[in-house]
Structure 1
């Protein structure tokens, strides 16, 4: 499941807006694609190893920015998740990331510290989620091995149990993030 954020804000001044946007996104290693004089796209490509990236800003994502009336910025940001965890559990980071664009463009406020704090919380969430998945794999393997011993087919049930345990626990973590997003705005696990 992907996260979709749409934001519009007004610029106090339109001096070097495109250069500032490029600088902001370049700091986080986004690729840039200029569509027109008033529209620019920043993106990150997905990869086979995306599931092991602990920084959600490094997951496959796209941010399209349109400048209208030379005073208004329209931002559409989408993030695809990391193939095992839903990006919905990290919406607090993405919203902070987008809000800091406005602060940076309008007041030259340093965005690095604020974004880094949210990235740190997100990395902790991802690490805990993978530990929970590992516990699921171990418990699934033990249960599958036990069932395999009862039936007499040892290897097959162990591997099936590990698979179901790992993905089952990650599904529970994703569901937890989804429910937490609905009922609270807390940025902690």
Structure 2
């Protein structure tokens, strides 16, 4: 599955120490791990987990946030690996709003918690809905194939196709619908 990659940029009108502290607070609130590269470059990340496939919040999937601070700008490179079932491209709007809320928090000290909570709730609903769509298509496809071939050995292949094809089609839909703009200025 293709990784979701986006670059976000926004102006920084505050001193670097205050900006860095706010960014660190924002990501640590969501349990991102922190690694400092140098004074103005640092990384927040979530590691892979065998339970990633069952995590409904896309921000809990394996991801990495590279942040570069300059006197007048913040550049964020975000990579999300997905959960092996649903492409992270389905959550493009969530990621854009998540980083937009970061920008509002850093520049205007606007509280982000409630806005992000609503975003995560909608994202979880989307994950559940996509799982339901995939499982319904999987069941229908399996039933159709089973009616043609009955209880033969080809049913093992049919079961694999019935499992993978709907998942592939749903993910292909989200990737084709994705905003192809790689750099977003907030």
TM over 0.5: yes
CA contact (8 A) 1:144 1:160 kept: no
Equivalent-residue separation in structure 2 for 1:18 and 1:119 (angstroms): 24
Instruction: Could you tell me which runs of 5 or more consecutive residues in structure 1 were left unpaired when the two chains were aligned.
Output: 184-189
User: Would you say 1:41 and 2:38 are equivalent positions?
Assistant: no
User: Among 53, 56, 59, which residue is 2:58 paired with?
Assistant: 56
Instruction: Could you tell me which runs of 5 or more consecutive residues in structure 2 were left unpaired when the two chains were aligned.
Output: 181-186
CA RMSD of aligned residues (A): 1.9
- Map 1:112-151; keep pairs closer than 5 Å: 112-149=113-150
Give every structure 1 segment of 4 or more consecutive aligned residues whose post-TM-superposition deviation is greater than 6 Å.
none
Residue 79 of structure 1 and its aligned partner are, at CA, apart by: 0.7
Aligned to 2:158: 161
SS in 1 for 2:5: strand
The size of the alignment, in residue pairs, is 178
Choose between structure 1 and 2 for higher RCO, CA contacts under 8 A separated by at least 6 residues. 2
- Kindly indicate which of the two structures has a greater share of residues assigned to strand: 2
Aligned to 2:184: none
TM-score normalised to structure 2 length = 0.87
Distance 1:2 1:160, change over 3 A: same
Residue 16 of structure 1 and its aligned partner are, at CA, apart by: 2.0
- Map 1:1-189; keep pairs closer than 5 Å: 1-14=2-15, 15-68=17-70, 70-149=71-150, 153=152, 156-181=153-178
Equivalent-residue separation in structure 2 for 1:105 and 1:54 (angstroms): 27
Question: Once the two structures are superposed, what CA deviation does each residue of 1:153-184 show, in whole Å capped at 9, x if it has no partner?
Answer: 2xx3333323212221112211222333359x
SS in 2 for 1:33: strand
